[in-house]
Amino acid sequence: MNGPVFDIAHMLAGGLVLVSMMMLYQDRLYALLNVFALHSLVLTLSVAWQALIQDAPHLYVTAAIALIFKAIVIPVALHRMIRQLGIHREIETVVGVGPTMLAGIGLVALSIVVMLRVTPEADPLAREDLAFALSVLLLGLLIMVTRRNAVSQVVGFMSLENGLVLAATGAKGMPLVVEISVAFSILIAFIVIGVFLFRIRERFDTVDVRALDDFRGRRRK
């Protein structure tokens, strides 16, 4: 693995972690969506670079899916949805930005420690891709946990999926089945989400999940 090849892969994968941290910092829906689009864009570049250096043309498909669906279609659709619902106000984070980011740093440290320790013999690029992927995954989880708004939970989930794609492409020669299925599942997930938001809108005129919690415990007739 010579210098620049490794460096670019390293920058892109690390950039994904950085953008994940940026998502933790965002507290407005539009900004969050824009950062998510950036996240997917970085992922696209990273996957495309992997396709180039691994000489694995099928990864370009994954990159294209990431670009078209996750960097363009989904953010645009969610943008429109937010505008229609009129919920472009601040996200209500459960805990403040500071503690959240501190927790995020802790998770990054944890994943680096865990993944580097268990993969001493693997290819350095795969090792660090795994460490970064686990960080992105855990940060996505953190976004889902700290946000109460349904749209931002969805965004958190999709960023988590981006981490998985990073891990799958970092694992050299992983069969195509998985990549397509990952993309496919995201698509399904999106349909599910779309249906959900539509229905929630139908019922409550809000997508704040906390509004749903108020009904907990009261049984239907």
Partner 1 sequence: MNVLSPLLAFDAVAAVLLVPVVAAALLALLPGYRITARLNVLASLLTLLAALSLFVTERPEPGQYLLVDDLNIVFIVLNAFVGFTTSIFSASYIAHELETGRLTPANLRFYHAMYQVMMFGMNLAFVSNNIGLMWVAVELATLTTVLMVGIYRTHEALEAAWKYFILGSVGIAFALFGTILVYLAAQPVVGEGYDAMVWTILVEHAATFDPALLNVAFVFLLLGYGTKVGLAPLHAWLPDAHAEGPTPISAVLSGLLLNVALYAVLRFKILLSASPEAIAAGPLMMTMGLTSLIFAAFMLYRRRDIKRLFAYSSIEHMGIIVFAFGLGGPLANFAGLLHMVMHSLTKSAIFFAVGHVAQIKGTQRLSAIRGLTETHPSLGWGLLAGVIAIAGLPPMGIFMSEFLIVSSTFARHPLLAIPLVFGLLVAFGALLLRLTGVAFGQPRGSVAPGKASYIPMYAHLALVLGAGIYLPPPLVAWFQHIANLLR
Partner 2 sequence: MVLISALFVQAFQMALVVLLAPLLTGLIRKVKARLLRRQGPSLIQPYRDLLRLLRKEAVVAENASWLFRVAPYLIFATTWVAAAVIPTFATGLIFSWTADLIAIVALLGSARFLLALAGMDVGTSFGGIGSSREAMIATLAEPSMLLIIFTLALVAGSTQLSTIAGFMSSPEVGLRVSLAIALVALVMVAIAENARIPVDNPATHLELTMVHEAMVLEYSGRHLAMIELAASLKLLLYISLIVCIFVPWKLAAPETGPTAYLAGLVVYLTKLIVGGALLALFETSIAKMRVFRVPEFLGAALMLALLATLLRFVSRSL
Binding region for partner 1 (CB under 8 A): 114-115, 117-122, 126, 130, 133-134, 137, 140-141, 144, 150, 153, 157, 160-161, 163-164, 167-168, 171-178, 181-182, 184-185, 188-189, 192, 195-196, 199-200, 202-204, 209, 212-213, 215-216, 219-221
The entry of partner 2, partner 1, none that residue 143 binds, CB within 5 to 8 Å by partner kind:
none
Residue 216 has what DSSP assignment? T
Q: Which residues pair with 147 in a beta bridge?
A: 93
Q: Please provide the DSSP assignment of 60-116 as one string.
A: HHHHHHIIIIIIIIHHHHHHHHHHHHT--SB--BSS-HHHHHHHHHHHHHHHHHHHH
Do 167 and 134 contact (CB within 8 A), yes or no? yes
Distance separating alpha carbons of residues 61 and 66, to the nearest angstrom = 9
Would you give the binding string for partner 2 spanning residues 132-171, x where CB under 8 A is met? Answer: x---------------------------------------
Q: Is residue 71 a contact residue for partner 2 (CB under 8 A)? A: no
Distance separating alpha carbons of residues 30 and 88, to the nearest angstrom = 7
Shortest reach from residue 202's CB to partner 1, in Å: 8
Shortest reach from residue 104's CB to partner 2, in Å: 7
Shortest reach from residue 88's CB to partner 2, in Å: 17
